Amino acid sequence: MTSNRLGLIGGSGLYRMPALSDGEWIAVDTAWGAPSDSLLLGTIAGREVAFLPRHGRGHRIAPHEVNYRANIAALKAAGCTEILAVSAVGGFHADVPPGSFVLVDQYVDRTTRGGRSFFGDGIVAHAAFGHPTCTRLGAVVAAALAEEGGLHRIGGTMLVIEGPQFSTRAESLLHRSWGCDVVGMTGLPEARLAREAELCYASVAMVTDDDAWSDIHVDVASVIAIMEANVARAQALVEAVAAGTWGGIHCPQGCDHALDGAVITAPLAWPPATKRRLATLLPRLFG
């Protein structure tokens, strides 16, 4: 398999990649189970890519049901070194109105779901997550957003709720008062797992609504209407990112070595089955 693919995770409303040529859907299984769907392998603007619809084609998988570990492991197994994730989100203030795109660079976690780490079962690691996204890939995305020319914001905090219900008005007002910019249901644990998998990860949030803090509360119909109106912009953005210069395997921020010094369990204590499973994801450390 190619070893510098760009992984693309499509969220609500982004289930296809028309710009992708020579596409082939390939079923992938992982040591953490099956991903949300087969991977669509092909090229966009000359870059080899792997596209995965986060909720599966037909939007069959709820945010709390997504096998995030399998999704990230499958993209890594397909040779991805970078992941661009796209999500529909609610916005918390006038700088991020519906229709705007936000390059997310921080998260606040309000999820309760499991499957948030590849570690456990006898091998413990604590990855640094102070800067949860890749600045190098982020710079490519920022340039693409500028080139695309639509309303956007570089940098923003995504608050991630468990879902699948939207927030109450009280929660929305609280999250807004915390200084968060947007709210979604899927950015975590996805970004955490990309870090543990030593992949560069960037997230573009497409604002579809004002959540529940204003007088008009979010519903699925309004999310889908805004997504449909902006899907061509999202596709153009993905194309521009794919065409952007790939800086090489060695990420200056260290995403590709994110686990250096993070594994605290003594190698002699590693349970063989856990080591074998981790070796499928991180051969550099466990192979």
Ligand X SMILES: CSC[C@H]1O[C@H](OP(=O)(O)O)[C@H](O)[C@@H]1O
Given the rule CB under 6 A, which of 47-55, 87-95, 139-147, 233-241 is the region that contacts ligand ADE? Answer: 87-95
* 185 known member of a binding site: yes
In the annotation, is 211 catalytic? yes
* 121 known member of a binding site: no
Question: Position of tokens 């991977």?
Answer: 39
CB of residue 90 vs ligand ADE: minimum separation in angstroms?
2
Contact of residue 251 among ligand X, ligand ADE, none (CB under 5-8 Å per partner type): none
- Buried/exposed code over 252-271 (b: 16+ C-beta within 10 A; e: otherwise): eeebbebbeebbeeeeeebe
Non-local (6+) Cβ contacts of 129 within 8 A are: 192, 195
x/- string (CB under 6 A) for ligand ADE, residues 125-154? ------------------------------
Contact of residue 71 among ligand ADE, ligand X, none (CB under 5-8 Å per partner type): none
Contact of residue 183 among ligand ADE, ligand X, none (CB under 5-8 Å per partner type): ligand ADE
Q: How far apart are CA 236 and CA 141, in angstroms?
A: 11
Q: If binding means CB under 6 A, how many residues of this protein chain bind ligand ADE?
A: 13
Contact of residue 209 among ligand ADE, ligand X, none (CB under 5-8 Å per partner type): ligand ADE
Kindly tell me which of 183 and 234 has the beta carbon lying closer to ligand ADE.
183
CB of residue 243 vs ligand X: minimum separation in angstroms?
23
β 157-161/80-91 pair status: unpaired
Token pair of 270 as six digits? 């590693």
Question: How far lies 55's CA from each of 97, 180, 219, in Å?
Answer: 25, 25, 18
Kindly tell me which of 28 and 104 has the beta carbon lying closer to ligand X.
104
SS3 letters for 101-139? EEEECEEEEECCCCCCCCCECCECECCCCCCCCCHHHHH
Taking CB atoms, the residue at the shortest distance from ligand ADE is: 90
Neighbour tally for 216: CB within 10 Å: 12
In the annotation, is 260 catalytic? no
SS3 letters for 135-192? HHHHHHHHHHHHHHCCCEEECCEEEEECCCCCCCHHHHHHHHHCCCCEEECCHHHHHH
CB of residue 164 vs ligand X: minimum separation in angstroms?
7
x/- string (CB under 6 A) for ligand ADE, residues 178-217? -----xxx----------------------xx-x------
Catalytic residue set: 209, 211
**Residues forming the annotated binding site for phosphate?**
12, 54-55, 87-88, 186
Residues near ligand ADE (CB under 6 A) are 88-90, 161, 166, 183-185, 208-209, 211, 218, 223
